[in-house]
């Protein structure tokens, strides 16, 4: 695994416009960055990323099964009691999932370590599944990259196939797609999924999360008052379950993507549970509930589980690295502020991201349902909080 | 269409055909149809409603249908099949509950259907106002297979295009005034109408975003994905 400077394609910004990729630059900072790429060997991809991704996913599913069967754990995961039935039913009915992204720390050697599981609302999908694919095709055709250069990226193919399976499962030929207003990135991600669904023969209708209505018949409606029966939502379950319309979820009987059981797998309480169940697994970092063993991190007890050292403290629910603290030899320092944390925190052993040319590099490893489907590489100037990430393409050679 | 589109097509074909690596062991998607991934238009975020367009199918077989304004009228016509009339009437009232036009306010309902022509119905999410069923249309009542029955409405409002005419739950207006009781209708007219969802409230999702989006430290503060 190494980082290779590379000539950007001429006029790629215009091409991005033609393909509807409007968020390649965000808040005045480059987001899509093709001035360099990452190169992996096939063995690194298959043995160090693909296989562990499949295995980690199965381990996560095993934890979900434990949680839905334990009131104590459902409480620990801050799933509102009123919705336990919804979450359990979605799991017991095996409601199909679409996709997720595991964030991995990987330097090219040694086992990749799971940082967290974005199983509910992962973004950077379009730039992974389509845009970096197009970059590779064009750079190969231009002679910039070797003809036998490949990429770990079967995302689009698998998404289309998976939409076909989901259509079969729910006997549907139409779905709604939804995300929040005022975010081009989320809208772009959802548009991409609509494109994939269309390739699978599904007609899509779009409605913003804020515009969803509740009808006298108990169903959710779009702006044309059409009922929402099957819906992909790029909106976190932890919000949905706590908002006003959350009370109407049971009656509305929507087949959601992602399904409600993803509220468990996307929760950071998953991390201590994984460590408890699979302690010492090479792809896991030690993790605990922060309130389980507070003295272990805040005082250097001689025989604690954590031996002082460096720990990262994260809220159960958080987005974009908000409310992260670093605990070093018992001392806590805030790395990022934010609105999260009232539901509790977990701590995870600090494992530094590898540094390439001064950039901290994070691997996002995608799954479509339970199949590993590709990676995304993001770089940040910050070691932990990933505040100004840039997306770089990758190749296998 | 334009020259630039032509060159896109050529480029798309090239990109699709000249894929690198061997097709069997590739780790990436094999065929992405680039022309289908192009967005020649800006994103259109608003849902475009599916307009209900009613076109009478030409040359279609039509069948006789009768309109009754009371159960007794029906029984008078079919003294040997009064139980059929009971069933047809029951079907129509149930369909009215499911498919009737509905309004958020009594004023709106009366504006369309006339004074004292509306009733209140309480639902999970509040009260709605629906016009009273003014009649029911039956067809093939004596058929051993399937008879048709559906509710009809009429308006007493001077502001309404339905005034003194028969109208179905989905707004199909019959020719002639309400004294006309026998029609020849197509199968579309007799089909059960879709359930009407009257949206009572919007904005019940998204409040967490308003509460949390003031935290602007992140460069990707707009996104609620991860």
Report if residue B225 sits inside a domain.
Answer: no
Range of the domain at B124: 63-188+196-213
pLDDT given for residue B125 in this prediction: 65
Asked if the Cβ–Cβ distance from A156 to B26 is below 8 Å, we say no
Whole-number Å distance between alpha carbons of A334 and A136: 40
Nearest chain A residue to B26, by CA: A150
Q: Chain A residues with CB inside 8 Å of B24's CB?
A: none
* Phi, psi (deg, nearest 5) at residue A173: -130, 5
Contact B202 A321 (CB under 8 A): no
B18: in domain: no
Structure tokens at A61: 């599913």
Q: For the whole prediction, is pTM greater than 0.90?
A: no
Identify the pLDDT of residue B221.
47
Nearest to A130 among B37, B121, B212 (CB): B37
The pLDDT value recorded for residue A307 is: 56
Task: Report if residue B125 sits inside a domain.
Answer: yes
Rg (C-alpha) for chain B, rounded Å, is: 28
Mutate: best of A11, A217, A227, A388, partner B, most B CBs <10 A: A217
In a domain? residue B33: no
Name which residue leads in pLDDT, A203 or A301: A203
**pLDDT, tens digit (0-9, with 9 covering 90-100), for A177-213:** 999 998 889 999 999 999 999 999 999 999 999 999 9
Show residues of chain B in contact with A211, CB under 8 Å. Answer: 47, 202-203
Confirm whether B110 is domain-assigned. Answer: yes
- The stretch B92-106 carries a mean pLDDT of 88
Give B225's pLDDT tier (boundaries 50, 70, 90). low
Structure-block tokens of residue A294: 């507070």
Contact check, Cβ <8 Å, A150/B20:
yes
| A contacts of B48 (beta carbons < 8 Å) | 205, 224
How much is the average pLDDT of A86-112?
97
Work out the percent of chain A whose per-residue pLDDT is above 90: 80
pLDDT for the residue numbered A336: 78
pLDDT tens readout for residues B134-181: 999 999 888 877 888 999 999 999 888 889 999 998 888 898 889 999
Question: Is A339 within 8 Å of B211 when comparing Cβ atoms?
Answer: yes
Residue the block writes with tokens 């790429």:
A37
3-state secondary structure chain B: CCHHHHHHHHHHHHHHHCCCCCCCCCCECCCCCHHHHCCCCCCCCCCCCCCCCCCCCCCCCCEEEEEECCHHHHHHHCHHHHHHHHHHHHHHHHHHHHHCCCECCHHHHHHHHCCCCEEEEEECCEEEEEECCCEEEEECCCCCCCCEEEEEECECCCCCCCECCCECCCCCECCCCCCCCEEEECHHHHCCCCCCCCEEEECCCCHHHHHHCCCCCCCCCCCCCC
Q: Which residues of B touch A118 (CB under 8 A)?
A: 225-226
Q: Which residue from A191, A217, A320 is facing B220, i.e. has the nearest CB?
A: A320
Is the pLDDT score of A260 beyond 90?
A: yes
- CA A206 to chain B, closest CA, distance in angstroms equals 5
pLDDT of residue B226: 65
Domains held by chain B: number = 1
Task: Check if the beta carbon of residue A367 is closer than 8 Å to that of residue A58.
Answer: no
Give the separation between CA A113 and CA A49, rounded to whole angstroms.
10
Mutate to test the interface with A, among B17, B195, B222 (most CBs of A within 10 A): B222
pLDDT tens column, A133-185: 999 999 999 999 999 999 999 999 999 999 999 999 999 999 999 999 988 89
How many A×B Cβ pairs under 8 Å? 249
Residues 6+ apart with CB under 8 A from A54: A367, A370, A371, A372
Top residue of A215, A246, A316 to mutate, by most chain B CBs within 10 Å, is A215
| Residue B146, domain member (yes or no) | yes
User: In this structure, is residue B17 part of a structural domain?
Assistant: no
C-beta atoms of B205 and A210 within 8 A: yes
CB distance B205–A235 less than 8 Å?
yes
What are the backbone dihedrals phi and psi of residue B47, each rounded to the nearest 5 degrees, phi first? -65, 135
CB–CB contact B209 A155 (8 Å):
no
Q: Are A231 and A177 in contact (CB under 8 A)?
A: yes
Q: Can you give the pLDDT at residue A236?
A: 95
Pick from B37, B49, B123: which is nearest to A217 by CB? Answer: B123
Contacts of A47 (CB under 8 A, 6+ apart): none
The token duo for B28 is 């990436």
Comparing B140 with A371, the larger pLDDT belongs to A371
What integer pLDDT is reported at residue B194 of this predicted model?
A: 77
| Strands A359-368, A355-356: pairing kind | antiparallel
Task: Look at residue B170 and tell me if it is in a domain.
Answer: yes
Instruction: Give the closest of A20, A224, A387 to B39, CB-based.
Output: A20
Contact check, Cβ <8 Å, B124/A147: no
Q: Model ipTM?
A: 0.88
């Amino acid at each position: 695994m190494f980082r290779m400077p590379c000539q950007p394609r001429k006029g790629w910004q215009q091409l991005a416009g033609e393909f509807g990729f409007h968020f390649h630059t965000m808040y005045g900072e480059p987001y899509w960055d093709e001035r360099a790429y990452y190169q992996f060997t096939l063995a690194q991809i298959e043995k160090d990323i693909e296989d562990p991704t499949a295995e980690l996913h199965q381990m996560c599913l095993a934890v979900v099964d434990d949680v839905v069967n334990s009131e104590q754990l459902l409480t620990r995961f801050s799933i509102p009691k009123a919705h336990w039935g919804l979450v359990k039913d979605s799991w017991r009915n095996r409601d199909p999932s679409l996709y997720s992204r595991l964030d991995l720390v990987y330097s090219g050697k040694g086992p990749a370590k799971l940082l967290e599981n974005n199983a509910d609302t992962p973004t950077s999908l379009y730039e992974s599944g389509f845009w970096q694919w197009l970059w590779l095709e064009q750079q190969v055709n231009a002679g910039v990259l070797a003809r036998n250069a490949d990429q770990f990226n079967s995302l689009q193919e698998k998404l289309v196939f998976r939409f076909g399976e989901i259509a079969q499962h729910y006997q549907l030929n139409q779905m709604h797609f939804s995300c929040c207003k005022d975010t081009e990135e989320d809208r772009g991600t959802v548009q991409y999924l609509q494109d994939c669904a269309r390739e699978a023969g599904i007609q899509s209708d779009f409605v913003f999360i804020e515009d969803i209505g509740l009808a006298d018949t108990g169903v959710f409606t779009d702006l044309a008052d059409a009922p929402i029966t099957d819906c992909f939502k790029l909106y976190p379950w932890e919000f949905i379950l706590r908002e006003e319309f959350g009370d109407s979820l049971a009656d509305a009987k929507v087949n959601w993507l992602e399904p409600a059981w993803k509220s468990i797998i996307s929760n950071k309480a998953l991390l201590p549970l994984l460590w408890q169940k699979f302690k010492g697994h090479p792809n896991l970092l030690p993790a605990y509930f922060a309130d389980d063993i507070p003295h272990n991190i805040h005082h250097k007890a001689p025989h604690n589980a954590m031996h002082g050292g460096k720990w990262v403290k994260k809220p159960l629910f958080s987005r974009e690295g908000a409310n992260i603290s670093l605990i070093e030899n018992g001392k806590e320092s805030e790395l990022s502020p934010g609105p999260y944390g009232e539901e509790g925190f977990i701590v995870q052993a600090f494992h530094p991201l590898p540094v390439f040319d001064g950039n901290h590099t994070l691997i996002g490893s995608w799954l479509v349902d339970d199949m590993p489907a590709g990676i995304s590489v993001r770089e940040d100037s910050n070691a932990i909080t990933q505040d100004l990430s840039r997306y770089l393409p990758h190749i296998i050679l | 269409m334009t020259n630039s589109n032509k060159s896109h097509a050529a480029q798309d074909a090239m990109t699709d055909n000249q894929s690198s690596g061997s097709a069997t062991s590739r780790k990436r998607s094999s065929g992405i149809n680039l022309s289908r991934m192009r967005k020649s238009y800006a994103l259109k975020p608003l849902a475009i409603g599916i307009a209900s367009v009613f076109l009478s199918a030409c040359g279609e077989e039509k069948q006789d249908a009768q309109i009754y304004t009371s159960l007794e009228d029906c029984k008078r016509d079919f003294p040997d099949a009064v139980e059929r009339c009971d069933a047809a009437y029951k079907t129509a009232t149930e369909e009215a509950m499911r498919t009737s036009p509905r309004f958020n306010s009594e004023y709106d309902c009366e504006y369309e259907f006339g004074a004292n022509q509306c009733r209140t119905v309480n639902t999970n999410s509040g009260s709605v106002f629906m016009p009273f069923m003014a009649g029911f249309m039956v067809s093939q009542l004596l058929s051993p297979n399937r008879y048709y029955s559906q509710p009809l409405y009429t308006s007493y409002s001077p502001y309404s295009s339905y005034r003194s005419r028969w109208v179905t739950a989905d707004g199909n207006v019959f020719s002639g005034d309400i004294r006309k009781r026998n029609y020849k209708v197509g199968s579309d007219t007799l089909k059960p109408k879709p359930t009407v969802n009257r949206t009572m409230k919007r904005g019940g999702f998204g409040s967490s975003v308003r509460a949390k989006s003031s935290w602007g430290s992140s460069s990707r503060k707009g996104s609620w994905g991860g």
